[in-house]
Structure 1
Amino acid sequence: MRVYIPATWPILARMVKNGRLDPMGGTAFALTPKLRESYTAGDEEELEYAAMAEAARASLRLLGVEFGLGEDDVPARRVVVAADVEATLRPDLDDGAVRISGGVPMSAIAAVHVDTEEAEYAVRQAAGAVDAADMGDLDAEFLIGEAEDHELAWYDPSEIAFLVELG
């Protein structure tokens, strides 16, 4: 199953160093039956994009924690790792949430999606507002939208070490 795993720059750097991705809490996102049912229209590609968007928002939450712990030097970029692994449904969470067990080997990674440098200001603002947006704060939701207006860049797995090195 193609899953979209939320990550951050430090998680990406550890992935390159260790040769595997260790997802936070085993949480990932995928095109689940529940996610498919929540959309009245859309082809497979559009629905996969919706799952990736959920992972990108989860990446904002991870960034918010890192910034809250004083990790201000962390690049403010959403990171989503697309991988082909076994997953189990998580009906207790968002529509597209799934659980994966264990680390994800580099051989299972299909692509990595990362914000460009131009998105950093909007992403930093959104990371600080994501919880308020979840609680219905319209100003915070606007900040999330500003970050989500930036498309994530696509990278082949063979390019990730070079990307992290350039940091």
Structure 2
Amino acid sequence: MTTVRCYVPVTGDQLAALAQDRRLTGPVRATAVTEVLRALEPGADGDELEYAAAQVAAEDLVRSGAPVVLAAVDADAGLVTAAPADDLWIEVASVDLPRVAALHLGDDVVTGDPSLLGDHDAEDIELSWFDTTELGHVLELVRRAEHAGRDAAPAERPTDRPTD
């Protein structure tokens, strides 16, 4: 069986369902090392391409204003729908918990401070690694981050403050 490492942006509700049902219900949108990504990263080795795929998913969450939470999934290649020729995104069918290799959280989730992400156009998003045995703890962190994001009005975020 051939597997594909996919980076699935997930919400708190999806994590709660993963903890309860031991399944991430698909289809879900994900990133992976695609031909488009290879073309954008010429000369990159396998690890660098995996890192780039995770960054694409994390950057999408930052742009949407959602907490940065990724599930690194080793999906059976037969459960992955290939991206169109010009797209970095793929689609993955439902995934059982044992196929989730790890969870990656942005600093906004780890610290509970959504302002830490700021503008990431020029830098990579720091992702902390968590094992799936820490799913309960990760879910607590994500719920706290989701709550902090709802409570912070746009004017309160440091990137939105007027400069002197």
TM-score, shorter chain, exceeding 0.5: yes
- In 1, Cα distance between equivalents of 2:114 and 2:20: 24
| Deviations 1:107-148, CA, capped at 9 Å, x for gaps | 10000001221652134xx5xxxxxxxxxxxxxxxx2338x6
- In 2, Cα distance between equivalents of 1:114 and 1:32: 23
Aligned residue identity for 2:41:
Y
Partner residue, 2:67: 77
1:38 aligns to 2:40 (yes or no): yes
Partner residue, 2:114: 120
In the alignment, which of 95, 98, 104 is matched to residue 95 of structure 2? 104
Q: Which has the higher strand share?
A: 2
**Structure 1 moving runs of 4+ over 4 Å:** none
CA gap 1:38/1:107 in 2 versus in 1, 3 angstroms? same
Q: Structure 2 length normalisation: TM-score?
A: 0.69
Q: How much has 1:28 moved relative to structure 2?
A: 0.7
1:158 aligns to 2:160 (yes or no): no
Tell me which structure has the larger Cα radius of gyration. 2
Do the aligned partners of 1:29 and 1:54 also contact (CA within 8 Å) in 2? yes
How many residues of Structure 1 are paired with residues of Structure 2 in the alignment? 133
CA gap 1:162/1:118 in 2 versus in 1, 3 angstroms? closer
Q: Alignment RMSD, CA only?
A: 2.4
| Deviations 1:71-113, CA, capped at 9 Å, x for gaps | xxxxx6300100111312112663x311112x21101000000
Once the two structures are aligned, what percentage of the paired residues are identical?
A: 33
- In 2, Cα distance between equivalents of 1:52 and 1:155: 14
- In 2, Cα distance between equivalents of 1:39 and 1:30: 13
Aligned residue identity for 1:7:
V
Q: How much has 1:50 moved relative to structure 2?
A: 0.5
Aligned residue identity for 1:82:
A
**Matched position secondary structure for 1:154:** strand
- In 2, Cα distance between equivalents of 1:118 and 1:145: 21
Do the aligned partners of 2:55 and 2:124 also contact (CA within 8 Å) in 1? no
**Matched position secondary structure for 2:121:** helix
Can you give the 5+ residue segments of structure 1 that lack an aligned partner in the other structure? Answer: 65-75, 127-142
Can you give the 5+ residue segments of structure 2 that lack an aligned partner in the other structure? Answer: 145-164
Do the aligned partners of 1:82 and 1:111 also contact (CA within 8 Å) in 2? yes
- In 1, Cα distance between equivalents of 2:101 and 2:22: 14
Aligned residue identity for 2:28:
G
1:11 aligns to 2:14 (yes or no): yes
**Matched position secondary structure for 1:99:** strand
